[in-house]
Amino acid sequence: MFEHRYVSDHLQKAVEAFSRLPGIGPKSALRMALYLLKQGEGESEDLAESILTLRRKVVYCSGCRMISDAPLCPVCSNPERDRGIICVVENVRDVMSIEHTGRYKGLYHVLGGIISPIDGIGPADLAVEPLLERLSKGGVREVILALSTTMEGETTCFYLYKKMASLAIKITTIARGVGFGDQLEYTDELTLGRSIENRQPFKPE
Amino acid sequence: MFEHRYVSDHLQKAVEAFSRLPGIGPKSALRMALYLLKQGEGESEDLAESILTLRRKVVYCSGCRMISDAPLCPVCSNPERDRGIICVVENVRDVMSIEHTGRYKGLYHVLGGIISPIDGIGPADLAVEPLLERLSKGGVREVILALSTTMEGETTCFYLYKKMASLAIKITTIARGVGFGDQLEYTDELTLGRSIENRQPFKPE
């Protein structure tokens, strides 16, 4: 790592702190620190304040475990959302992505990860029990498993399926296949093979 | 810009604050904010603290205008540096780059920019007067102009040269030519042409 200590201990510390953020190397961190030095003090105060408020005020929704400013997130507290459907996702970002599509009107459940023995993450590390608790209260008719189509995602789907199989709830997964706008020649073999096996009736829209 | 307001105002504010940093788009900013939410509170406090300390405690050296933790920077206050040579650079990062080479033992002078009419930066916006003041105190035998070899850099060199021409001080510029390790076929014509004109006696090392 580039050493700035001969210049300024304070600069060095700021560069180190920025470098711990994901995707930020020492060069970007230096650029960020020098930028802040050039701006008025208000810019740094605003950034520091936002960081502290973010960490101290943001909580996890008691319903779906999504991040939220209130005990119940805007989705869970919205009376227009369909409380009969729960979409299970790995993380907060997945909720954002699905919300961004504007195509889903049910609730969510954030697992906080997926089963990954190689990373030492087992079912006990995920919000599986809270999910089963939510389902035990009744009123849910469908659970959508919207997890990555990786080995870990499939394992987690299977585990959740087994846990929920005894409940009278429909369990679905998001559709898999060739992405819209994808060219066949660049689609991997597994996806293409399964897409042919799972072919569907053509519906002109 | 991606909207996170429906999720959390605090998240939205942090993402906006991070996005103002150079080279950080909304996606990286979101990644950084979500990372901080996952870490202990100490991580955010440490980052916020470093940012505030950086902005509030770092000053500009009264000698060379380099950033520094003390009124006089480590270079200016080092008795082993040659006070007879001043290397004029555009910005703080240039000092770091030259220091990093370990090949320069004189002092610096940070201009804080270069003359660029298109950006509205004229000589009055740069630390030219402080440079002339330093030189007027005597004891300096050489000024090295280490500016970019761009149009703006050349203009600034010429301006400084005119300002200093009446002083009995040797004025030099950093050597220009084909970079070490560069292939001739990929060197631009101007550089290659000037490198031939300014050819030097071959010295086997």
What's the domain range around A35?
A: 9-57
DSSP three-state, residue B102: coil
Residue A116: what are its φ and ψ, rounded to 5°? -150, 90
Please judge whether A35 and B45 are an interchain contact, meaning their C-beta atoms are less than 8 angstroms apart.
Answer: no
In a domain, A2, yes or no: no
Interface of B with A in 64-83 (CB under 8 A): 66-69, 73-74
With 0-12 / 13-18 / 19 or more C-beta atoms within 10 angstroms meaning exposed / middle / buried, residue B95 is: buried
Query: Residue B23 is encoded by which pair of tokens?
Result: 């080279």
A133 and A189 share one domain = yes
CA of B69: which chain A residue's CA is closest? Answer: A8
In a domain, B107, yes or no: yes
Please judge whether A58 and B18 are an interchain contact, meaning their C-beta atoms are less than 8 angstroms apart.
Answer: no
In a domain, A66, yes or no: no
Q: Which residue has the tokens 């605003």?
A: A46
B53 and B91 share one domain = no
DSSP three-state, residue B129: helix
In a domain, B66, yes or no: no
B172 and B87 share one domain = yes
In a domain, B2, yes or no: no
A196 and A99 share one domain = yes
Regarding pTM above 0.95, the answer is no
Q: Please tell me chain B's helix, strand, coil percentages from 3-state DSSP, rounded to the nearest 5.
A: 45, 15, 40
Assign residue B166 the CATH number of its domain. Answer: 3.40.1360.10
Tens of pLDDT, residue by residue over A133-170, are 999 999 999 999 998 888 899 899 999 999 999 999 99
> What value does the mean pLDDT of chain B take?
90
CA A70 to chain B, closest CA, distance in angstroms equals 9
Choose, out of B16, B43, B44, the residue to mutate when testing the contact with A (most A CBs < 10 Å).
B44
Residue A204: band (very low, low, confident or very high) from pLDDT cuts 50, 70, 90: low
In a domain, A65, yes or no: no
> What value does the mean pLDDT of chain A take?
90
Bridge partners for A88 per DSSP:
A109, A145
Closest CB to A44 among B2, B23, B52? B52
Contacts of B54 in chain A (CB under 8 A): 10-11, 13-14, 33, 36-37, 44
A170 and A130 share one domain = yes
B35 and B121 share one domain = no
Integer Cα distance of A143 and B150 in angstroms = 62
Spatial contact of A140 and A86, defined as CB atoms under 8 Å apart: yes
CA of A43: which chain B residue's CA is closest? Answer: B17
Round the CA-based radius of gyration of chain B to a whole number and report it. 22
In a domain, A1, yes or no: no
B81 and B181 share one domain = yes
Contacts of A74 in chain B (CB under 8 A): 6-7
B184 and B95 share one domain = yes
Contacts of B68 in chain A (CB under 8 A): 7-8
Assign residue B51 the CATH number of its domain. Answer: 1.10.8.420
At CB < 8 A and 24+ separation, what contacts does B74-77 make? B74/A6, B74/A7, B75/B99, B75/B107, B75/B108, B76/B107
B83 and B37 share one domain = no
Check: complex ipTM more than 0.95 = no
DSSP three-state, residue B166: coil
A95 and A190 share one domain = yes
pLDDT of B39 > 60? The answer is: yes
Chain A interface includes B100 (CB < 8 A): yes
Query: Residue A156 is encoded by which pair of tokens?
Result: 């987690």
pLDDT of B129 > 50? The answer is: yes
B145 and B187 share one domain = yes
B109 and B185 share one domain = yes
Tens of pLDDT, residue by residue over B145-155, are 998 888 899 89
Residue A103: what are its φ and ψ, rounded to 5°? -105, 5
Contacts of B9 in chain A (CB under 8 A): 69
DSSP three-state, residue A110: strand
pLDDT of A24 > 90? The answer is: yes
Q: How many domains does chain B have?
A: 2
Please judge whether A50 and B13 are an interchain contact, meaning their C-beta atoms are less than 8 angstroms apart.
Answer: yes
Please judge whether B47 and A13 are an interchain contact, meaning their C-beta atoms are less than 8 angstroms apart.
Answer: no
With 0-12 / 13-18 / 19 or more C-beta atoms within 10 angstroms meaning exposed / middle / buried, residue A200 is: exposed
In a domain, A103, yes or no: yes
